[in-house]
């Protein structure tokens, strides 16, 4: 039994952490800052983010180096909008000549959870040509929502079950090939997050060729030379097929000629002598049988290759 399975769903979220520091402004570039104002420095990682003070947009944060904004002393509401629309709000006290630093760090988390449904596909390893193949999708999880089953078949024909978890496929005409079933399982809720594509192959063994016996001739017994001429063609055929046998069924007649000149004993001896001595047929390959009586003595001749069913003597 062959089967395949897979599928996990990855959910990615962004978390921003807020760090607050404060320092006295002074020296260097700080000489350019108004002495009677407080300073807000906003620094973020990865990408700039919009900054608002008391509900008014004032600019974008700096990346690596903080972007500075001058605020009057007092309590101000600071808002920074995250990359996914999250708003981080803090009320901060500002003093003249003092700097408050807001540092936002972006943390990426990956949360992995299994799909509610997890399928594997079952099917036979091998079948003989003509046998139906059953492919069955088995769910190792649960099905909280209706599922959609889309089947694709190579070298075969779906005869039943399309759109369901189990299908039956005909292998007629595909001997010596591989029939592969591919199933696309999905739904209208989880969709591509849980979509699964699974397959299973089955080898198809060619059906053995049936060997049949061949009817060579049938005729009424007449003069010996006439009968021998009819045997010539059958003798040639049986000798051209290795190990084939020649079946001769003699039906004894009830008329006067059949009960005197053409009796079963005379005809069977005459037939064997001619085939062996004149035509060189191996006597082990000659089978002579007595059939039921008829109006006139007659022959029925069959070529029986190895493996073929012999004729029925009536």
pLDDT, mean over the chain: 87
SS3 readout for 57-92: EEEECEECCCEEEEECCEEEEEEEECCCCCEEEEEE
Alpha carbon distance, N-terminus to C-terminus of the chain: 49
Token pair belonging to 291: 């059939």
Residues 167 and 243 in one domain: no
Instruction: Please report whether residue 276 resides in a domain.
Output: yes
Token pair belonging to 22: 């404060």
CA distance 201 to 169: 12
Residues 226 and 296 in one domain: yes
Q: Residue 283, CB half-sphere, CA atoms under 13 Å: how many?
A: 9
Instruction: Please report whether residue 199 resides in a domain.
Output: yes
Residues 89 and 154 in one domain: no
Residues 71 and 127 in one domain: no
Report, in angstroms and rounded to the nearest whole number, the Rg of the chain calculated over CA atoms.
48
Residues 123 and 107 in one domain: no
Q: In this predicted structure, which of 4-13, 210-219, 298-307 has the lowest mean pLDDT?
A: 4-13
Place of tokens 């000489």: 31
Domain boundary among 111, 133, 157: 111
Domain boundary among 205, 234, 269: 205
Cβ atoms of residues 166 and 136 within 8 Å: yes
Beta bridge partners of 77: 91
**Total-model pTM:** 0.45
Q: What is the pLDDT of residues 171-226, one digit of tens each?
A: 999 999 999 999 999 888 876 778 889 999 999 999 888 889 999 999 999 999 99
Q: In this predicted structure, which of 11-15, 91-95, 146-150, 229-233 has the lowest mean pLDDT?
A: 11-15
CA distance 42 to 60: 8
Pairing between strand 178-186 and 148-154?
Answer: antiparallel
Residues 164 and 257 in one domain: no
């Amino acid at each position: 039994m062959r089967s395949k399975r897979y599928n996990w769903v990855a959910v990615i979220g962004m978390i921003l952490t807020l760090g607050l520091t404060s320092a006295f402004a002074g020296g260097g570039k700080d000489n350019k800052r108004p002495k009677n104002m407080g300073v807000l420095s906003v620094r973020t990682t990865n990408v700039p983010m919009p900054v608002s003070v008391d509900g008014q947009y004032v600019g974008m944060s700096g990346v690596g180096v903080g972007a500075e904004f001058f605020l009057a002393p007092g309590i101000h509401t600071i808002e920074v909008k995250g990359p996914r629309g999250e708003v981080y709000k803090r009320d901060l006290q500002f003093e003249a000549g003092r700097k408050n630093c807001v540092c936002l760090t972006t943390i990426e988390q990956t949360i992995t959870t299994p799909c509610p449904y997890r399928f594997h596909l079952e099917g036979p390893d091998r079948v003989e040509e003509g046998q139906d193949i059953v492919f069955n999708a088995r769910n190792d999880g649960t099905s909280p929502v209706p599922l959609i089953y889309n089947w694709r078949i190579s070298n075969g024909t779906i005869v039943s079950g399309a759109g369901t978890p189990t299908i039956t496929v005909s292998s007629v005409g595909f001997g010596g090939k591989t029939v592969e079933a591919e199933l696309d399982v999905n739904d209208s809720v989880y969709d591509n997050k849980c979509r699964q594509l699974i397959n299973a192959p089955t080898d198809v063994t060619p059906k053995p060729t049936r060997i049949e016996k061949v009817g060579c001739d049938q005729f009424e017994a007449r003069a010996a030379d006439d009968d021998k001429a009819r045997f010539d063609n059958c003798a040639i055929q049986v000798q051209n097929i290795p190990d084939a046998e020649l079946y001769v069924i003699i039906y004894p007649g009830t008329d006067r000629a059949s009960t005197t000149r053409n009796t079963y004993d005379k005809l069977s001896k005459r037939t064997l002598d001619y085939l062996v001595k004149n035509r060189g047929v191996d006597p082990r390959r000659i089978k002579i049988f007595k059939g039921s009586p008829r109006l006139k003595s007659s022959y029925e001749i069959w070529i029986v290759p190895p493996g073929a069913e012999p004729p029925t003597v009536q």
